[in-house]
Amino acid sequence: MTLKEEFATRNFSIYGQWLGILTMILCFALGIANIFTFHVVVIIFSVLCLISAFIILFIEVPLLLRICPTSAGFDSAIRRITTNYMRAAAYAVMAVVQWLSIIPRATSLIAAAILLSLTGVCYLLAGIKGQAFVGSKTLGGAGVAQMIV
C-alpha cells in the first residue's frame, strides 16, 4: 500500500501515526533549541520534550524495537501501547507535560504541546469510531518488522 493509499483509507490511526512522526521531529528540534536557555525549569521541560521524542520514535516505528538494543522493561512498556486508546493516553500525558511548560515561561515548547494534543485526538477519534489500529507499512508496520527476523 502506498502512502497515498494509506491516507485515502480515512483511518485516523494512520493520520495519528504520521502526525506522531511529525511531532517526534518537532519535539526533538524544540527540545534541543530550548535546552540552551538560562531558565532552569525550561531546561527541565526541554529534556522532557527530548525524552518524549525518543518515546514517540519507538511507539510509532515498531521496527526499531527489533533492531535497537533496549531493555526488556522498556520493550514491554512500549509494546503495551498498541491500541488507539493507549496511544491517545500516552500522547495526552506527554501533551499535558508540555502544556505545563508554559506556566513558568512561554516558549516554543507550546508548538510541541499543540502537536502532541492533535496526535492524541487523532488516536482518540480512531478509537471512538471503532477503527482498528493500522500501522503504516512505510514506518515498519504490517509485516515489515517480521521480515527482519
Average pLDDT by stretches of 10, the chain with 149 residues: 63 86 94 91 94 91 81 86 91 95 91 95 91 69 45
Q: Is residue 9 domain-resident?
A: no
Residue pair 17/88 in contact (Cβ under 8 Å)? The answer is: no
51: in domain = yes
Whether 10 is in a domain gets the answer no
pLDDT value for 65: 77
According to the model, what pLDDT value does residue 6 have? Answer: 59
Q: How many domains does the chain have?
A: 1
- What pLDDT does 22 receive? 94
pTM: 0.84
Residue 98 lies in a domain: yes
Query: Is 87 in a helix, a strand, or coil?
Result: helix
Say which amino acid occupies 47.
V
d(CA 12, CA 14): 5
Residue 13 belongs to some domain of the structure: no
CB 31 within 8 A of CB 50: yes
Write the secondary structure of 126-148 as one string of H (helix), E (strand) and C (coil). HHHCCCCCCCCHHHCCCCHHHHH
Determine the Cα angle at 47 with ends 46 and 53, to 5°. Answer: 90
Which cell numbers in the block locate residue 135? 500501522
pLDDT value of position 143: 47
Angstrom distances, CA of residue 48 to CA of 42, 110, 116, 147: 10, 13, 13, 34
Give residue 34's Cα distance to chain centre.
19
Which domain, by its residues, includes 41?
Answer: 23-138
On whether residue 6 sits in a domain, the answer given is no
Residue 30 domain-assigned?
Answer: yes
